[in-house]
């Protein structure tokens, strides 16, 4: 297509707005001046821009995951399971995006990263409060993590609230109880600030759901949405671990964690254990 053809096509679009002296533009709506001026390198190295943008993009996706998951929790609590399915399906699609982000970051070589790594000081993705919020809304509660955020009272309070609130799996278990399944009262009335541990009554309830799909279609769909999210989350954790190993090997992380060692350990954790246990027993 020639430039003349492009210009003729543009001119033929009679309805296109071009005068924005007193109107909101695309850039105004998205506050692009703020967004695109936030990538401030601390070194002169070319690849630091990649490093910053990948983490900015991931934080935006995490924000949307939190937004959708918290809305799904409210919908499940209100008995609106169908509404929650759309939100949880969207979370899975978002997860596929942040997994692919590791493929882009992995183009950063060890030699390139070492050129600006010291500029990070003790700053580390380990400190991402949005990542902790995702873990909290999924039910994985780690009290020692909260100390990291005492510097910012607003963020600290946000995390405290999520830390003590029921997670996605808690409200799913409550939905089982509301639908007539006999759930251990200690589970329904548990301290939500504790990481969930599997329970026989919950396993039996899910087993019944999976053996009687037609009778419990909504609960079956809910269970599969949870499995989708956990599956993608584990894939995200794995790609994270392998990308870190590829770039820094087994060095200590900038935030003081064991790096690859820490990331390997969390691969063994399950948010929704009974939904994986029953697959062997069905």
- Residue 85 annotated in ligand binding: no
- Residue 195 annotated in ligand binding: no
- Spatial separation of the C-alpha atoms in residues 72 and 80, rounded to whole Å: 9
- Spatial separation of the C-alpha atoms in residues 72 and 179, rounded to whole Å: 18
Neighbour tally for 199: CB within 10 Å: 17
- Residue 2 annotated in ligand binding: no
Q: Could you give the C-alpha distances from 141 to 59, 79, 159, 165, in angstroms and in order?
A: 20, 25, 10, 10
The alpha-helical segments, DSSP class H, found in the chain are 3-12, 26-30, 32-36, 48-77, 81-105, 110-114, 129-138, 153-164, 168-178, 185-188, 200-211, 217-248, 260-266, 273-281
Sign of CA dihedral 248, 252, 258, 261: positive
* 100 within 8 A of 33, measured Cβ to Cβ: no
- Residue 90 annotated in ligand binding: no
- Spatial separation of the C-alpha atoms in residues 124 and 12, rounded to whole Å: 51
**3-class DSSP state for residue 184?**
coil
- Residue 51 annotated in ligand binding: yes
Count Cα atoms within 13 angstroms, Cβ side, for 115: 13
Neighbour tally for 112: CB within 10 Å: 17
- Residue 55 annotated in ligand binding: yes
Residue 76's nearest CA partner among 200, 155, 211, 166 is 166
- Residue 113 annotated in ligand binding: yes
Binding residues: 51-55, 113, 117, 240, 254
Q: Which residues sit in the known binding site for heme?
A: 240
Annotated binding site for substrate: 51-55, 113, 117, 254
């Amino acid at each position: 297509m020639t430039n003349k053809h492009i210009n003729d096509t543009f001119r033929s679009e009679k309805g296109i707005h071009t005068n924005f002296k007193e109107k909101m533009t695309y850039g105004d709506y998205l506050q692009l001046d703020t967004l695109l001026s936030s990538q401030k390198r601390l070194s002169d190295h070319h690849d630091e821009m990649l490093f910053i943008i990948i983490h900015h993009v991931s934080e935006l996706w995490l924000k949307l995951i939190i937004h959708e998951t918290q809305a799904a929790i409210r919908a499940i609590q209100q008995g609106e399971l169908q509404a929650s399915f759309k939100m949880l399906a969207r979370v899975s699609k978002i997860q596929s995006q942040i997994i692919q982000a590791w493929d882009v970051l992995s183009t950063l070589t060890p030699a390139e990263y070492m050129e600006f790594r010291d500029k990070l000081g003790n700053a580390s993705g380990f400190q991402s409060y949005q990542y902790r919020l995702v873990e909290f809304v999924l039910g994985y509660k780690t009290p020692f993590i909260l100390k990291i955020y005492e510097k910012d009272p607003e963020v600290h309070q946000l995390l405290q609230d999520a830390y003590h609130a029921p997670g996605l799996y808690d409200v799913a278990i409550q939905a089982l109880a509301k639908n007539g399944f006999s759930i251990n009262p200690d589970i329904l009335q548990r301290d939500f600030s504790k990481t969930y541990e599997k329970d026989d009554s919950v396993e039996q309830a899910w087993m019944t759901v999976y053996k009687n799909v037609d009778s419990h279609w909504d609960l079956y769909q809910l269970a599969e949405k949870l499995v989708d999210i956990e599956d993608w989350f584990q894939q995200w954790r794995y790609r994270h671990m392998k990308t870190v190993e590829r770039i820094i090997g087994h060095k200590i992380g900038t935030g003081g964690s064991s790096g690859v060692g820490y990331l390997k350990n969390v691969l063994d954790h399950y948010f929704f254990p009974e939904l994986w246990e029953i697959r062997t027993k069905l």
